[in-house]
């Protein structure tokens, strides 16, 4: 039996194996079992980890094998989550908490980037990232979480092919737009040469063997002969089905179907050729698979059962010997769509130019501001230097007498005679006054000096 993770994942894609598989009859080893397909969903890792944990519970594995596509898509299988072991529930709780944390970081990063670009935030688009789990309960994994996970995966994968086609269309339009812009940049002579070269590449690309219609007798017989190495005259649809059911699960899934188209694609596309575009080859592969699913997959579960395959070989279209119209022979886009696309590109370029000019002005303003700051810094440094110089000069200068500080004696050189100080004019006394002067040893009290009171006489006994 194939891994349960493969079964449940393909179930979430709408692919449910309708034939029960007996594990005892499995011949392939665990290492040889197919790896689950990459869904391309932004929550693919979370989806895969939930499946791996559920795979370990025997009760849930039993219910899954007995379920059909409708039981799973409708949410009926989700109710079985209430009966799984406590150990499994604990692991699922931890996975959900990790996923919530991852989504929070993604949303914060998107909001920060949007705010930096001054663009309006798409809150609805941000909330859609929580559609595959229940955001009201962010700590435990409940039946509602499994139901939402299945619904989100089913819806997103149904739109995956349409989104891929739209992306490819934009790629082709961009390629044509750039080609035309390049031709406009050339002079008349070089333009004619380049146009002739382009037409030659297209001609070489279209010169290939006939491509059979995918799923037709001619296409399958070619695989039977060249890939399987069997006699084309002994082609048997039932044997062919079993040969290419590589995981022996009783159905052909999308990957097994796409493997059948390799020979047809090699007729048209060669990575060594300049004229062959490998992105066009992948679009071709997708178109072929969709064509087979549309005509063979009757219940639209994205799986081809043996019964569906055998019925398709009985249709009239199966035996028709027509050819397949490749991508380059199909009108992928109209001229009106190309004009709208070019107008959208022009608007985006104008917005980028506006933002570039805004950033250039901001850079210029910052540069001018930096020049001003540098000038102010130099002025400040110059002022500080002048203050330091003045302080040093004041510290080295002598302190004058009577300025409140100690008079520092400045010694005179020995060869300079010390002169007597001049007598002031008002100190001169007339000669006749000297006769009436008192004795030299008698000193008059200074006018400003206070008089001492007379001391009392002390009589000696």
**Does residue 412 carry a pLDDT above 70?**
no
**Does residue 355 carry a pLDDT above 60?**
yes
Cα dihedral 362/363/364/370 (nearest 10):
110
Lowest mean pLDDT among 113-127, 161-175, 234-248, 316-330: 113-127
Domain assignment of residue 177, yes or no: no
Percent of the residues in the chain that have a pLDDT greater than 90, as a whole number: 45
Choose from 114-123, 130-139, 194-203 the range with maximum mean pLDDT.
194-203
**Does residue 416 carry a pLDDT above 80?**
no
- Average pLDDT over the chain, rounded to whole? 79
Q: How confident is the model at residue 255 (pLDDT cuts 50, 70, 90)?
A: confident
Q: What is the pLDDT of residue 451?
A: 52
Q: How confident is the model at residue 311 (pLDDT cuts 50, 70, 90)?
A: very high
Higher pLDDT, 1 or 275: 275
Q: Do 345 and 326 reside in the same domain of the chain?
A: no
Q: Of 311, 333, 355, which residue is a domain's last?
A: 333
Give the Cα separation of 305 and 250 in Å (integer). 7
Q: Do 318 and 190 reside in the same domain of the chain?
A: yes
Q: Do 351 and 319 reside in the same domain of the chain?
A: no
Q: How confident is the model at residue 461 (pLDDT cuts 50, 70, 90)?
A: very low
**Does residue 108 carry a pLDDT above 90?**
no
Residue located via tokens 């001169």: 428
Answer for the pair 202, 271: CB distance below 8 angstroms, yes or no: no
What's the domain range around 369?
Answer: 340-390
Summarize the confidence of residues 7-36 as an average pLDDT: 42
Domain assignment of residue 222, yes or no: yes
Q: Do 207 and 326 reside in the same domain of the chain?
A: yes
> What stretches of 228-368 adopt beta strand conformation (E)?
251-252, 304-305
Q: What is the pLDDT of residue 36?
A: 53
Q: How confident is the model at residue 131 (pLDDT cuts 50, 70, 90)?
A: confident
**Does residue 459 carry a pLDDT above 90?**
no
Give whole-number Cα distances, 36 to 22, 45, 162, 272, 392, in Å: 20, 11, 22, 31, 84
Domain assignment of residue 431, yes or no: no
Domain assignment of residue 173, yes or no: no
Residue located via tokens 């050189």: 413
Answer for the pair 220, 235: CB distance below 8 angstroms, yes or no: yes
Q: Do 313 and 234 reside in the same domain of the chain?
A: yes
Neighbours of 26 (CB within 10 A): 13
Q: What is the pLDDT of residue 433?
A: 44
- Bridge partners, 212 (sequence order): 323
**Does residue 234 carry a pLDDT above 70?**
yes
Q: What is the pLDDT of residue 155?
A: 79
Summarize the confidence of residues 283-303 as an average pLDDT: 89
**Does residue 78 carry a pLDDT above 50?**
yes
Q: Of 120, 149, 178, which residue is a domain's last?
A: 149
Q: How confident is the model at residue 10 (pLDDT cuts 50, 70, 90)?
A: low
Element (H, E) at 254: helix 254-259
| Among 126, 125, 145, 147, residue whose Cα is nearest residue 135 | 145
Q: Do 190 and 325 reside in the same domain of the chain?
A: yes
CA 113 from centre of chain: 10
Percent of the residues in the chain that have a pLDDT greater than 70, as a whole number: 73
Give the chain's end-to-end CA distance (angstroms, integer).
Answer: 148
Answer for the pair 309, 253: CB distance below 8 angstroms, yes or no: no
Give the Cα separation of 274 and 270 in Å (integer). 9
Domain assignment of residue 355, yes or no: yes
**Does residue 353 carry a pLDDT above 50?**
yes
Give the Cα separation of 278 and 192 in Å (integer). 27
- Note the pTM of the prediction, 2 decimals: 0.60
How many alpha carbons lie under 13 Å from residue 333 in its C-beta half-sphere?
Answer: 21
Lowest mean pLDDT among 41-50, 292-301, 324-333, 416-425: 416-425
Domain assignment of residue 430, yes or no: no
Q: How confident is the model at residue 80 (pLDDT cuts 50, 70, 90)?
A: confident
Q: Of 333, 367, 402, which residue is a domain's last?
A: 333
Give the Cα separation of 338 and 333 in Å (integer). 7
Cα dihedral 150/152/158/159 (nearest 10):
-170
Q: How confident is the model at residue 12 (pLDDT cuts 50, 70, 90)?
A: low
**Does residue 366 carry a pLDDT above 90?**
yes
Domain assignment of residue 64, yes or no: yes
DSSP state of 192: H
Answer for the pair 151, 136: CB distance below 8 angstroms, yes or no: no
Q: Do 346 and 329 reside in the same domain of the chain?
A: no
Give the Cα separation of 18 and 166 in Å (integer). 33
Length of the chain: 461
Q: Do 93 and 126 reside in the same domain of the chain?
A: yes
Domain assignment of residue 4, yes or no: no
Q: What is the pLDDT of residue 302?
A: 80
Q: Give me the CATH number covering residue 221.
A: 1.10.238.10
Q: What is the pLDDT of residue 401?
A: 59
Q: How confident is the model at residue 322 (pLDDT cuts 50, 70, 90)?
A: confident
Instruction: List the structure tokens of 299.
Output: 């219940």
Please give the tally of structural domains in the chain: 3
Q: Do 89 and 109 reside in the same domain of the chain?
A: yes
Q: Do 120 and 205 reside in the same domain of the chain?
A: no
Q: Do 366 and 255 reside in the same domain of the chain?
A: no
Q: Do 217 and 326 reside in the same domain of the chain?
A: yes
């Amino acid at each position: 039996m194939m891994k349960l993770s493969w079964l449940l994942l393909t179930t979430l894609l709408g692919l449910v194996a309708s034939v029960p598989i007996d594990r005892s009859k499995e011949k392939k080893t665990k290492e040889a079992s197919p790896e689950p397909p990459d869904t391309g969903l932004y929550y693919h890792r979370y989806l895969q980890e939930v499946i791996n944990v559920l795979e370990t519970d025997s009760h849930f594995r039993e219910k899954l094998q007995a379920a059909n596509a409708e039981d799973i898509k409708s949410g009926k299988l989700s109710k079985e989550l209430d009966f799984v072991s406590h150990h499994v529930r604990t692991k699922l709780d931890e996975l959900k908490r990790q996923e919530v944390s991852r989504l929070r970081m993604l949303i914060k990063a998107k909001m920060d980037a949007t705010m930096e670009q001054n663009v309006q935030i798409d809150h609805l688009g941000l909330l859609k990232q929580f559609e595959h789990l229940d955001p009201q309960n962010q700590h435990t994994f409940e039946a509602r979480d499994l139901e939402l996970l299945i619904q989100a995966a089913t819806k997103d994968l149904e739109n995956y092919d349409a989104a891929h086609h739209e992306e490819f269309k934009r790629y082709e339009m961009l390629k044509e737009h750039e080609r035309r812009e390049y031709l406009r940049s050339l002079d008349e002579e070089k333009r004619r040469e380049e146009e002739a070269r382009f037409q030659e590449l297209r001609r070489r690309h279209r010169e290939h063997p006939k491509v059979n219609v995918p799923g037709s007798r001619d296409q399958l017989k070619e695989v039977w002969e060249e890939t399987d190495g069997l006699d084309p005259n002994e082609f048997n649809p039932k044997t062919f089905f079993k040969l290419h059911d590589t995981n022996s699960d009783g159905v052909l899934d999308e990957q097994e179907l796409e493997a059948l188209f390799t020979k047809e694609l090699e007729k048209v596309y060669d990575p060594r050729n300049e004229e062959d575009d490998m992105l066009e080859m992948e679009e071709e592969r997708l178109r072929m698979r969709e064509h087979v699913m549309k005509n063979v997959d009757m219940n639209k579960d994205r799986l081809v059962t043996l019964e569906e395959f055998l019925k398709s070989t009985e249709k009239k279209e199966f035996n028709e010997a027509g050819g397949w119209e490749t991508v380059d022979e199909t009108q992928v886009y109209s001229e009106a769509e190309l004009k709208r696309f070019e107008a959208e590109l022009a608007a985006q370029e104008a917005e980028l130019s506006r933002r570039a000019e805004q950033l250039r002005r901001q850079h210029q303003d910052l540069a001018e501001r930096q020049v001003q700051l540098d000038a102010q810094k130099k002025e400040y440094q110059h002022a500080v230097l002048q203050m330091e110089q003045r302080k040093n000069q004041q510290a080295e200068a002598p302190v004058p007498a009577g300025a409140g500080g100690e008079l520092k004696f400045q010694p005179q050189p020995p060869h300079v005679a010390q002169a007597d100080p001049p007598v002031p004019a008002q100190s001169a006394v007339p000669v006749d006054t000297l006769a009436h002067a008192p004795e030299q040893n008698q000193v008059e009290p200074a006018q400003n000096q206070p008089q001492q009171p007379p001391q009392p006489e002390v009589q000696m006994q």
